[in-house]
Chain A
């Protein structure tokens, strides 16, 4: 990595100047104002608007990548080529119906697209979004319950001193969280609150402070050196 230091090309140097300039500008805008001369915040907001435009364009690149990967899956009849057909049909049908009939439709007042097409497409988009997409999303999310159970089983095994401490702390928190815990012994919820408020918070804040300092150093390093 940094051992293979080499001279920057002109392009890399130009890019580095832009990275440093923009990074420095955003850092300055956060702390400093120049009243009466220039509204730095407005300039920064304007630059962010350009970023939004670039981000939107990047979505098109994402769609091109997805189409290219799955097109070649189908063309070369790879093992899962049938799934690729489903993906491409879903992608482009959702794209077409979203453009015509979603809340972000391009022509909601039917100035160009015939009103009949919009009327025909609206229930289809509703079905695809609310009956298919939302439900699939919820199903994938709910898989977490099973994954948490298997991860907890793996974590809560007393193999070493550390994992035993984790097991005991975990059990006490789970017990303290259960509605029946206070009926068994009121101390469970006090122990749970203490574990969550002190050792847990202290550990999390330690990680956060370290990460924040890491981000500062990493950002400065990135601002002054481009190649990854």
Chain B
């Protein structure tokens, strides 16, 4: 009745193995209360927002040019929730700029939710969360304009970024006290590393939720994906050795 699609069987098997390994390692990590290394940038977010509130300058956040189905964009929503919550707590104004109308709806929901949760829904104004443009460089121009005019104290560029990454980051560098970047796009990461005070590199974007949580269980769960990485490294090593000796078994198996 059910049939596995040819060419995707090995992917399905690998996915099951990786998920099982992640589950098992997470279970052990939670049981043993393992601790992970910290990400320095995440620890300083609170201080920066406090500083912005003290100076009466806004906090700026943009999830980039990804759409609602882009993983980086979705992952950045976790950080937005955290930033919005602390902006409300410390009384700093938050400005969010979006390039996708659906993402704009989601970000508005998150920011509005932070105000509502704190019982300050009257302080939320619709111009805090803005739709700029779906066109890449119109979005870049819009974001650069917001940065120049509104001079935020902290800029968060976290999500999916393409060629506009350097433009928004350089414009932010010229105006803001602190800058925080994060993406998995390796072509743009170097630009973030040079212009931001703190950068979330690759998977750090997806694990931010665990780090930002005060819950020790959530921190332990961060160890899980490392099991997947160990499996990937083992596969690479075994594959390299086999191919070196002219054996293409692994290539055949992965092609199934």
Contact = CB atoms under 8 A, between A and B. Distances in A.
Nearest to B13: A31
Interface of A: 1-3, 30-35, 37, 54-55, 58-63, 65-66, 68-69, 72-73, 79-80, 83, 136-137, 140-141, 143-144, 147-148, 150-152, 154-155, 203-204, 207-211, 213-222, 228
Interface of B: 1-5, 8-9, 11-12, 15, 18-19, 22, 67, 71, 74-75, 77-78, 80-82, 100-102, 104-105, 108, 110, 113, 126-127, 129-132, 134-135, 137-138, 140-141, 145, 149, 163, 166-167, 169-170, 184, 186, 189-191, 193-195, 201-203, 205-207, 209, 212-215, 218, 224-225, 228-229, 232
Interface of B is mostly: helix
B8 A62 contact: no
29 contacts: A1-B212, A1-B213, A31-B5, A35-B3, A58-B105, A63-B131, A65-B108, A65-B129, A69-B130, A72-B127, A140-B167, A147-B167, A151-B169, A151-B195, A154-B194, A207-B189, A211-B202, A211-B206, A213-B22, A214-B184, A214-B206, A214-B225, A216-B225, A216-B228, A217-B22, A217-B206, A218-B74, A218-B206, A219-B71
A133 to B, nearest CB: 8
Please provide the 9 A-B residue pairs with the shortest distance between their CB atoms, ordered closest to farther. Answer: A62-B101, A214-B206, A214-B203, A210-B203, A211-B184, A207-B202, A140-B137, A58-B101, A155-B194
A215 B22 CA distance: 13
A144 B126 contact: no
A64 B51 CA distance: 33
A209 B229 contact: yes
Contacts of A210: 202-203, 225, 229
A151 B4 contact: no
Nearest to B214: A3
Majority SS at the chain A contact face: helix
A34 B19 CA distance: 24
Contact of B5 (A32, A62, A155, A213): A32
Contacts of B113: 228
B166 A148 contact: yes
B18 A62 contact: no
A72 B126 CA distance: 10
Contacts, number: 175
A37 B1 contact: yes
B116 to A, nearest CB: 13
Given A2-B215, A33-B5, A217-B224, A143 B130 contact: no
A210 B232 CA distance: 9
Contacts of A59: 101, 134
Contacts of A214: 75, 184, 202-203, 205-207, 225
A3 B77 contact: no
Contacts of B1: 34, 37
Given A1-B213, A61-B131, A214-B184, 10 more contacts: A31-B4, A58-B101, A61-B105, A66-B130, A69-B126, A140-B167, A151-B166, A207-B203, A213-B232, A214-B206
Nearest to A80: B149
Contact of B82 (A1, A32, A136, A220): A1
